[in-house]
Amino acid sequence: MFLVGKETFCDFQSIQQAVDYCENHKQSEAVTIQVLSGLYEEQVVISRSQLTLKGIGDVTIQYGLSAREKDPLGNELGTFRTPTLYVGGQNNKIENVTIINSSGYGEDVGQALAVYADCDETVFRHCRMIGYQDTLFTGRLPGKQKDGTDFILLEQSQDQKEYRQYYESCFISGTIDFIFGGATAYFYQCEINSRRERTRKGGYITAASTPKDQKSGFIFRECFLSAEEDVEGVFLGRPWRAYAKTAFIHCEYGQHILPAGWNDWSNSQNQETTDYVEILKGKYQFNQRVLWSRQSHTANSEYNIELVFPKSDFYKK
């Protein structure tokens, strides 16, 4: 176990220093990095497996890269080089940490990741992820961008065989597509918070890019959909790619969610391929939902976590 903090008895003064040491010296064994209370203004990149990053008190990691910023060669960074926290590898845990991308409103700076979860069998517990546009990206990436070009990635970006992730008791906040990607990601009792932009109205919570042959995409179970004051006109999701899968199971909805619920990203063909599902609590009646989504008051066992992750119990660890 290593300790990060500003005190003289700490092993490292920054989180990335501790991670770098573990990347170079502790690859073959499980390792824990504990972090004392404080604001850590740094980009943290974790590439290895079997690492636990655990905040002891009030721990905030904050950084401010955005897609429109230029790199030393004069090229725009693009979305996937902006994360405040990047997590690759397998069997990692991130606990009790606030991660903020502080670059500003999406309408001003473009996409800006707080967390890039490029990982498999990884758990986020009691974390706060705060940004505006594209707060949390859950790998995997689609093969190409929509214009057919390659994505611009961090050097550490990985290509996992599977992307299975579990988020428990987390606070995730943003405006546009602020939970997006192709992972099988299970959100349990999380607060999903829609923010205000400076002038831009409305928003989208999810933008899944689930691969066609993948059984599950995003599953939100017993989550709480909240919003900042005066936020309205928010969709539950839209498909970043055609076979997006997203389910809300027994969640609580704020008044900011639009009656239609879902958006087809200006492509009616997506209505034939997406799988958008809500299992409703008894008090909710959504008669104005788009006809190409599904609602029911009867729980479906296929969304039980044991069936979503049939080959692994990593979420119990």
pLDDT per position as a tens digit, 246-287: 999 999 999 999 999 999 999 999 999 999 999 988 777 788
pLDDT at 283: 74
Q: Which fold has domain 18-316?
A: Pectate Lyase C-like (2.160.20)
pLDDT at 301: 87
Instruction: Give whole-number Cα distances, 199 to 100, 106, 165, 186, 204, in Å.
Output: 21, 10, 33, 32, 15
Q: What are the residues whose beta carbons fall under 8 Å from the beta carbon of 232, sequence distance 6 or more?
A: 201, 202, 255, 256
pLDDT at 287: 85
92 C-beta neighbours (distance < 10 Å), count: 24
Instruction: Give whole-number Cα distances, 104 to 68, 185, 232, 267, in Å.
Output: 12, 26, 20, 29
Q: pTM of the predicted model, to two decimals?
A: 0.97
- Which two structure tokens, joined as six digits, stand for 34? 């504990």
301 C-beta neighbours (distance < 10 Å), count: 7
- Least Cα distance to 264 among 273, 256, 253, 251 occurs for 273
Q: Kindly tell me if the per-residue pLDDT of 208 is higher than 90.
A: yes
pLDDT at 299: 78
- Catalytic residues, which ones? 177
The H or E element that residue 24 is part of is helix 15-25
pLDDT per position as a tens digit, 37-72: 999 999 999 999 999 999 999 999 999 999 999 999
pLDDT per position as a tens digit, 85-131: 999 999 999 999 999 999 999 999 999 999 999 999 999 999 999 99
108 C-beta neighbours (distance < 10 Å), count: 16
pLDDT per position as a tens digit, 124-167: 999 999 999 999 999 999 999 999 999 999 998 999 999 999 99
C-alpha 303: how far from its chain's center? Answer: 19
Confidence band of 188 (pLDDT split at 50, 70, 90): very high
Q: Kindly tell me if the per-residue pLDDT of 20 is higher than 80.
A: yes
pLDDT at 28: 84
pLDDT at 298: 84
